[in-house]
Structure 1
Amino acid sequence: MTRLTRTTPAPAQGIVHLGLGAFFRAHGALYVEEAMAASGGDWGITGVSLKSPGQRDRLAPQCGTYTAVELGPEGETARHVSVIREVLVAPEDPAAVLAALRTARLVTLTITEKGYCHIPATGRLDLAHPVIRADLANPEAPASAIGYLTRALAARRDAGEPPFTVLSCDNIPGNGALLRGLVLELAGEIDPALAAWIAAEGAFPSSMVDRIVPATTEADIARTEALTGLHDAAPVMHEPFRQWVIEDHFAGPRPDLAAAGAELVEDVTPFEHMKLRCLNGTHSALAYLGYLSGAETISDAVAHPALAAYVRHLWAEEILPVLTAPPGTSLPDYADALFRRYANPAIRHRTWQIAMDGSQKLPQRLLGTIGENFSAGRSPRGLFLAVAAWMIYTSGRDLHGAAIDVRDPLADRLGACWPGAPAEVTARYLAIEEVFGPAPDPALAEGLTAALTALLTSGPETAAQQVI
C-alpha cells in the first residue's frame, strides 16, 4: 500500500504549536489551512512535542501530512492536511524549539490542563512543580511549555523584536489570561524587567475551541487506509461540528481565521462558560458515571435511559440556570444539539479517555458550576453525583472491585483517600486544596457525602434516577 506523503511544497512557517496532539490536528490546523486557502499568507505550522517522539515519528515519513476523517451519522469523509511543516521533539533539541519560537508570529497551545503547571484551585504557577523548578534552575534549557514561552519571549526582547502572540486552545476558562499570568510569574522569578516587558507588549488572547476528537486507534488507521487507498500512520477522526471563538487581541499579524469560520470577538467569556459547563462538564459527568455503569463511550452512556435523562437534567436544572447566553444563542437549543452530538454512534469517544486528569479538570468543569448554584441558593444534586463518581473512579477500583487504570497527576493522593465511610472519604478529598481550594463550602461536604452514599449503595444508574 502506498504511503501518504506531501504533494505540494510545505508552507513557510508562521505558527509554532506546542502539544501537537489529535485535537489540534483535527481542529486548529484545519482552520489555519482553510484560512491560507481563502486569504493567502505564510502560516505553516511547526509542531512541537513536549515529551515523546511518537507524533514526530509517525508524521515525519509523511512529510507532516495526514488525513482528517469526519465521522458523521451518515458516513465518513476524508481530507488530506498539509499545513504542518515539521515536528520537533523538545527534549531532543531544545535549541531547535527555541529557534522556531524566535521566528514565529503566532504560538498556539494544546497542552491540556496539567501542562500549565499551575494550581487549578488558585490559577497560580506551581513553583514547586519539578519542571518549573528545572526552568528556574536553568532558564536557558526550558522543561515546560511556560518555560519555552518565557525564554523565547526573552530572546525576542533582547533582540529588539516585538513579541509573538500566544493563543491557548485548551479547555480552561480565561485560558489566555491564565497563561499570561503564569508566564509573567515565571518571567518575574527570572527577570522582573522581562515580566514588565511581556506585560506591556505581549498578547495572550483567550479562545474557546469545540470539536469532539476521539483518540485514534489501530482500527481507525485501517479504516482510513480503506477509505483513501493510502497508508497513514497518523490520521485523526472527528465529528462534523466545530467552533473556534477567539478574543481579537493580537500582538501582530494573524491568519484570516474568520474566513475559515472562526469567530473573532471582544469577549470570549460567555462562549467559554457555555462550552466548559455545558459540554465539558457533562462530558466529565457522563465519563465517570458512564464508566462505572460499563459504558465504553459517551454514545454508549447516553444510550442508557437513566444517564440520558440525567444529563438532560444537568443542563435544564443545574447548568443553564446559572449561565449567561452568548449573543444570539439559545441555551436550550445548544444543549439539544450537544445531546445529538453525544449520541452520534460514529464517534467512539471513550469514557476512560475523558476521565483522565480529572483533578485538573474538575475546578472549571464542575466545581465552578456547583459554586454558582450555591450562590443562587440551589443544591445541585446531579453535579454532586458527578464529583462523587470521580471520587470512586480515582479510588482505583470500580463498584465491582475491578481495577481502574487511573491517569492523573494526583493519582496517589486521590487513591489514598480510600477506604472509609462516605463522610470520611469525602473529608479527605476536600482536604486536597489543589482541587477544592482552602475552604470548601460545608454544603459541598454534605452533598458529596450523600451522593457517594447513593452510588455505593444503589449504583450509578439508580443514583442518577434519584437526582432527577
Structure 2
Amino acid sequence: MRLTPATAGALPPEISHFSYERDKQSAGIVHFGIGAFHRAHQAWYTDHTMDAGDRDWAIVGVSLRSAGVARQMNPQEGLFTVNERTELGLASRLVGAVRKVLVAETDGAALSELLAAPETRIVSLTVTEKGYCRAPDGTLDLDLAAQGSFYPWLVAAMEARRDKVAPGFTVLSCDNLAQNGRQLHRLISEYLRARADHLLPWFEAECRCPSSMVDRIVPATTEEDRSALAAHLGMKDEAAVFTEAFSQWVIEDDFANGRPAWERVGAQLVRDVEPYETAKLRMLNGSHSAIAYLGLERGHIFVHQAITDPELRPLIDRLMREEAAPTVNAGPEQDLGRYASSLMERFANPALNHRLEQIAMDGSQKIPQRWLETLAAQARRGNSCPSILTAMAAWLRHMQQRDHVADDPRAPEMKRLWQEHGAKEIVQRTFGQSGLLASAWHPTPADLSFLTAALTPG
C-alpha cells in the first residue's frame, strides 16, 4: 500500500498530521527545485502555518529537468512525511502543503498559466548555487540562464501579469548564497536588460526579492530509509524525507503581495538577515565542506564519523570559533560561541547518516562564500586561517581526482590545471587575482608555502 489521500487515514496514530482541508486551499506559492531540502524545510513550515489558520498557501512544485520528484510525489497527490531522526528514535509528520509537481519540460503550459495567475503570490527557489547561472565574476551567464533555468519562466510570467494588470510576486531565494535576495534581484535585472528591458520598470515597482537564511540538515533519502519507514508507517512513502529535529528560517520581511504567517510556527521575520546568513555560511557550511573533503580523505562516509575523528574534531572547532566566528558582525541576539557548540552537537548526531559525498558536490560553487570570504576578512586583519587552508588543500586534492561534471561543474577545468601546472602553481591558478576562483582573497607567500607543502607528496 502506498501513501495517498485515500490511505492516509490508516497511518499509525502517533504520526502527526495537518488538520486543514487540503482540497480547499488555493496555491499561493510556486517552488522551483522541489527536492528533499524544500520538503523538509519551507514546505514543512508552510504546512504548519496553514495548520495554524493562515490558509491558501498551498505549494505547486516545479522540476526544471528531471521528472524523478514528480514520479515520487504525484501518485501520492503531493503528500509526504517529514521524519526527524534523533537518538531517541523517529518522529514523523504527514505534510499536506504541496499540491503537485510540474515538470517544466512537459508541463510548460500549465506552469505558465500558474505563474501568471493572481493567486500565485510567491515564487520560491532551492536550485543550489549553480542554478543561478553565474559566470566566474558573479555576473549572469546569459547562455546558461537561457538553457533550462528559472529565468525565462519568471520573465514570461512578468509579461503576462503586466499585460493582465495583475499584481507582482515575491521571488524568494532559499539557497546558500551570501545576500541571496540582493544577488537574485541583480541577476534577474541583468536577464531583463538583455532579453526584456521593457519589463524592468514593472519588476522594480511590483516585485520583491527578500533575502533569507535556511538551516536544517537533510541527508539524501536512500532505499533503505524508505524500506524501514514503510514498516514504521504501514505503507510506502516514496517522497519521504529524513532530517534532524533542529530547523531555522530567517527571512527579510519585504514581500510584494502578502506572505504566510511563518513567524507563527518559528520562522524569524527580520529587517536584516545578514548576521544570521553570514554565521551560517561561514560557520556551518564552511565547516561542513571542510568535514567533507578531509573526512573523505580519511576514509569516512558520514559526517558523524568524521566529526568524532580525533584529528578532525579540533580542526573543525578552531575553524568555527577562531577563524569564521570573528568575521561575523553578530546581531544583538546571536551568541556565536553557543552556535558553534550546537553545530558540533548536530554534526555528531549518529542517526542522520549525512553522507560526505553529498556535501562535497559542487565545491567550486560553494567555497567562495564558505571559505574565501572568511579568508579575505581575516587577511585584512593580518591573520591567516590554517584550518581553512588545510581543508582547501583537501579540496584541491579532491578535484585532482575528479573529472565528472555531475560532481562539480568546474571539475574538467580543475583537472586541466592540475595536469598543466601541478602542485607548485595550482593554488595561484585557482585563487590568484586572475585565477579560476578569483575573489577578494589573495594568497600571501605564507599561504602559498602552506598549501604547496600540503599538496606536495612526501
For normalisation by structure 2, the TM-score amounts to: 0.92
Which residue matches 1:414?
A: 414
CA offsets per residue over residues 377-425 of structure 1, 9 Å max, x none? Answer: 101111112222111111126xxxxx98961111110111224542222
The 1-side partners of 2:198 and 2:205 are apart by 11
The 1-side partners of 2:246 and 2:96 are apart by 21
**1:74-89 to 2 correspondences below 5 Å:** 74-89=88-103
Which residue matches 2:81?
A: 67
Shift in Å at residue 449 of structure 1?
4.9
1:396 paired with 2:401, answer: yes
CA offsets per residue over residues 278-301 of structure 1, 9 Å max, x none? Answer: 100110111111111111111111
The 1-side partners of 2:448 and 2:227 are apart by 44
- Name which of structure 1's ranges 238-247 and 181-190 shifts more when overlaid on structure 2: 181-190
CA RMSD of aligned residues (A): 1.9
Would the aligned equivalents of 1:394 and 1:415 in 2 still touch at CA under 8 Å?
A: yes
CA offsets per residue over residues 311-330 of structure 1, 9 Å max, x none? Answer: 01111211111111122121
Shift in Å at residue 158 of structure 1?
1.8
Amino acid at match of 1:422: A
**1:151-230 to 2 correspondences below 5 Å:** 151-230=156-235
Match of 1:115 among 125, 131, 147: 131
- Name which of structure 1's ranges 12-21 and 89-98 shifts more when overlaid on structure 2: 89-98
Residues 250 and 183 (structure 1 numbering): CA distance in 2 closer, same or farther, change over 3 Å? same
Which residue matches 1:139?
A: none
The 2-side partners of 1:421 and 1:448 are apart by 13
Amino acid at match of 1:163: G
Residues 272 and 228 (structure 1 numbering): CA distance in 2 closer, same or farther, change over 3 Å? same
Which residue matches 2:320?
A: 315
The 2-side partners of 1:334 and 1:275 are apart by 9
Match of 1:53 among 61, 67, 71: 67
The 2-side partners of 1:165 and 1:354 are apart by 29
SS at 2:418's partner residue?
coil
CA offsets per residue over residues 154-209 of structure 1, 9 Å max, x none? Answer: 21112111111111100111111111111111111122221122122210000000
SS at 1:124's partner residue?
coil
- Name which of structure 1's ranges 83-92 and 433-442 shifts more when overlaid on structure 2: 433-442
SS at 1:336's partner residue?
helix
**1:291-306 to 2 correspondences below 5 Å:** 291-306=296-311
Which residue matches 2:271?
A: 266
Shift in Å at residue 435 of structure 1?
5.1
SS at 1:249's partner residue?
coil
**1:29-40 to 2 correspondences below 5 Å:** 29-40=43-54
Shift in Å at residue 440 of structure 1?
5.4
The 1-side partners of 2:267 and 2:374 are apart by 27
Which residue matches 2:140?
A: 125
Shift in Å at residue 436 of structure 1?
2.3
SS at 1:125's partner residue?
coil
The number of aligned residues is 440
Would the aligned equivalents of 1:388 and 1:448 in 2 still touch at CA under 8 Å?
A: no
SS at 1:107's partner residue?
strand
The 2-side partners of 1:410 and 1:334 are apart by 32
The 1-side partners of 2:449 and 2:123 are apart by 44
Q: Percent identity?
A: 43
Amino acid at match of 2:305: D
Match of 1:383 among 374, 380, 388: 388
1:254 paired with 2:290, answer: no
The 2-side partners of 1:434 and 1:146 are apart by 28
Which residue matches 1:356?
A: 361
The 2-side partners of 1:432 and 1:63 are apart by 51
The 2-side partners of 1:405 and 1:291 are apart by 19
Would the aligned equivalents of 1:169 and 1:207 in 2 still touch at CA under 8 Å?
A: yes
SS at 1:80's partner residue?
strand
Shift in Å at residue 372 of structure 1?
0.3
Shift in Å at residue 427 of structure 1?
2.8
Any gaps of 5 or more consecutive residues in structure 1?
A: 135-142, 398-402, 459-468
Would the aligned equivalents of 1:106 and 1:254 in 2 still touch at CA under 8 Å?
A: yes
1:26 paired with 2:27, answer: no
Shift in Å at residue 122 of structure 1?
3.5
Would the aligned equivalents of 1:22 and 1:213 in 2 still touch at CA under 8 Å?
A: yes
CA offsets per residue over residues 335-388 of structure 1, 9 Å max, x none? Answer: 000000000000111111101011111111111111001111101111112222
The 2-side partners of 1:18 and 1:404 are apart by 25
Would the aligned equivalents of 2:368 and 2:439 in 1 still touch at CA under 8 Å?
A: no
For normalisation by structure 1, the TM-score amounts to: 0.90
Which residue matches 2:14?
A: none
SS at 1:241's partner residue?
coil
**1:222-241 to 2 correspondences below 5 Å:** 222-241=227-246
Amino acid at match of 2:126: T
SS at 1:111's partner residue?
coil
Which residue matches 2:286?
A: 281
Would the aligned equivalents of 1:385 and 1:452 in 2 still touch at CA under 8 Å?
A: no
Would the aligned equivalents of 2:30 and 2:59 in 1 still touch at CA under 8 Å?
A: yes
The 2-side partners of 1:335 and 1:40 are apart by 34
**1:325-364 to 2 correspondences below 5 Å:** 325-364=330-369
Amino acid at match of 1:117: C
1:369 paired with 2:374, answer: yes
Residues 432 and 4 (structure 1 numbering): CA distance in 2 closer, same or farther, change over 3 Å? farther
Amino acid at match of 2:210: P
Any gaps of 5 or more consecutive residues in structure 2?
A: 7-20
- Name which of structure 1's ranges 17-26 and 72-81 shifts more when overlaid on structure 2: 72-81
- Name which of structure 1's ranges 384-393 and 264-273 shifts more when overlaid on structure 2: 384-393
- Name which of structure 1's ranges 335-344 and 362-371 shifts more when overlaid on structure 2: 362-371
The 2-side partners of 1:442 and 1:32 are apart by 44
